[in-house]
Structure 1
């Protein structure tokens, strides 16, 4: 190759190779600093796409594992309530057997009945107060609703009352509940003639304009000795006491449905109800659900009847507890399976995206040497034209 002063071919070659080595070293440094083999899509487009999908699946599975764990915790709360009610029922059974014996007088049976009734009230209280994140667990769930809530009219969907959900109540063969509303204090009252439930619209359920917040409800608490509770579900059409639309009362409410509450837990990343959702049904264990409301032990005959009812109630309760235990085991197995799926999916994602530090460090060291050599050779190439000056001496 001829020597010339205009073009320096050797310097150009050295510069090109130096640029490539510098880019490779920079790319290797980016991977080492991030810990990822695929820093940008150009590094491996297919792995980037597949790895991103796997990562989203892993994150979804992690949340599904939390859901399953929360489901187990919720069932443990329900099982704890059932265990305490079982203890109460055993004591009530003991009292009924004692009251059915002939050595006692009616006066003594009255004394036993005092404890019996208080224990019955405690059964209902535990059933009504057992909640998890605001959801009642062991008090059943009965609903009335439709185009008009109640045959008596007055509280229709258009007026803002979409449905009434009752807990701790039994279904009736005929319409037997009456709902009334007092605009003076924005209070609802539901009665079946002997038991009453009252509840007012809370200010927290209203927005700044005085309209009911979407999804808000009015909880009707018992008055007197009754220990159930109701929830009145209202929509946004229902407004404050001064602008309330419904008429004064609506009679003839009839509750229908099952005496159990159903909860669905998302244990997968999809939407298939057969694969990604586990539904749990928890039987109600209030006095009404167990068939012991209204029992007493004031006489031998009523004590014997209460003893039979309590025997059946204990069987019903144990069946409910067995169902809870089965659901707990299922959710636990689901959580274990999710943990295995997370582990294997994470391994697959890691193979695609995670960096082999040892291998990449070797590559980086090689590129560093090439960069240093390139700098040195470019310096030498830039010195070559100076050799031409010796020809002029």
Structure 2
């Protein structure tokens, strides 16, 4: 190999190797300090794109699970009102039977009527109950998204306590003015039908709570799996990266030493000139 002064190939090669090792060392430091394998898009452009989509899907799954939980709370509140409605109807049924007692005089029956009228008003009041400003009862179904993409839904049946159709709501029993009376009801048939309607509403309510509970379980599981998949793409393996850090650290130190030696090799030419 010729001895030259203008070009120090060994020093150039050592400098290039040192620069590459130092760049890899900085990347390892960045990954370990951030906990992420993808610090910049250049580290893994395709992986970053997939990671962003998985992360967004996981967040949507969490949000959908929260929405389901809120809906279940609304259904629980609704069922609480329906339970009270059933209790009121049972008392009305009891009053209707007592009213038919032939030993009661007109004053006694008027007293039963007074309570019956108040219970009618209470039924009308219960039918207007709300949850966070949303009506618990009405003629419109409620659609609840139960998937992260919003395509999977659960439809909650309409529960209309104030319907005048005796086979659907409370018929003529719920009256905010309390215009009805035990004598106008006549028999317990209307009350029995109203009780059946409320029982059906509670059964539907329970079925909907059960289904939403399972839907929430699916979202929770999916969210965990999405986060795990995203972790495999973006999270750094600390054990592996620590090994790489040690490697690059040694190469940087050795490269620095060798560059120093390469820079001194040109001095050999000076000895030939002495």
Report the TM-score, using the length of structure 1 for normalisation: 0.64
Q: CA deviation at 1:98?
A: 0.7
Q: What residue is the counterpart of 1:285 in the other structure?
A: 161
Q: Determine the C-alpha separation between the residues in 1 that align with 2:153 and 2:163.
A: 31
Q: Considering only aligned residues, what root-mean-square deviation do their CA atoms show, in Å?
A: 1.7
TM superposition shift of 1:80? 0.8
Q: 1:120-156: CA deviations, max 9, x gaps?
A: 101111211x112211112x2xxxxxxxxxxxxxxxx
Alignment match, 1:22: 22
Q: Which residue of 1 aligns with 2:76?
A: 76
Unaligned 5+ runs, structure 2: none
Q: Deviations over 1:302-358 (max 9, x none)?
A: 4642x2211111111000010011111111110001111111122111112211111
- Cα deviation, 1:52-97, whole Å, max 9, x if unaligned, reads 2111111111111111111111111111110111111111111111
1:353-390, CA deviations, whole angstroms, 9 ceiling, x for partnerless residues? 21111101111111011011111111111122223333
1:123 touches 1:287 (CA, 8 Å); kept in 2?
Answer: no
Which residues in structure 2 correspond to 1:168-207 (within 5 Å)? none
2:263 to 371, 374, 382: 382
Please give the alpha-carbon distance, in whole angstroms, between the structure 2 residues aligned to 1:329 and 1:359.
45
Secondary structure at the aligned position of 1:283 is classed as coil
CA distance in 1, matches of 2:163, 2:45: 64
List aligned pairs for 1:1-393, cutoff 5 A: 1-128=1-128, 130-138=129-137, 140=138, 260-272=139-151, 276-286=152-162, 288=164, 289-291=169-171, 292-293=173-174, 295-297=180-182, 299=183, 302=184, 304-305=186-187, 307-393=188-274
2:140·2:158 contact (CA, 8 Å) conserved in 1? yes
Larger mean Cα displacement after TM superposition, 380-389 or 113-122: 380-389
Note the residue ranges of structure 1 that are not aligned, 5 or more in a row.
141-259
Structure 2 distance, partners of 1:340, 1:270, is 15
- Secondary structure at 2:140's aligned position in 1? strand
Pairwise CA distance, 1:287 = 7.3
Matched residue count? 265
**Structure-2 separation of matches of 1:33 and 1:2:** 47
Contact 1:93 1:311 in 2 (8 A): yes
Larger helix fraction of residues? 2
Give the C-alpha shift of residue 271 in structure 1. Answer: 4.6
Which structure has greater strand proportion? 1
1:245 aligned residue: none
Q: Taking CA–CA contacts closer than 8 Å with sequence separation of 6 or more, which of the two structures ends up with the larger relative contact order?
A: 2
SS at match of 1:282: coil
Deviation at 1:392, TM superposition (A): 4.0
**In structure 2, what is the equivalent of residue 162 of structure 1?**
none
SS of residue matched to 2:14: helix
State TM-score, norm by structure 2.
0.91
Q: Tell me how far 1:295 sits from its aligned partner.
A: 3.6
Distance 1:350 1:271 in 2: 24
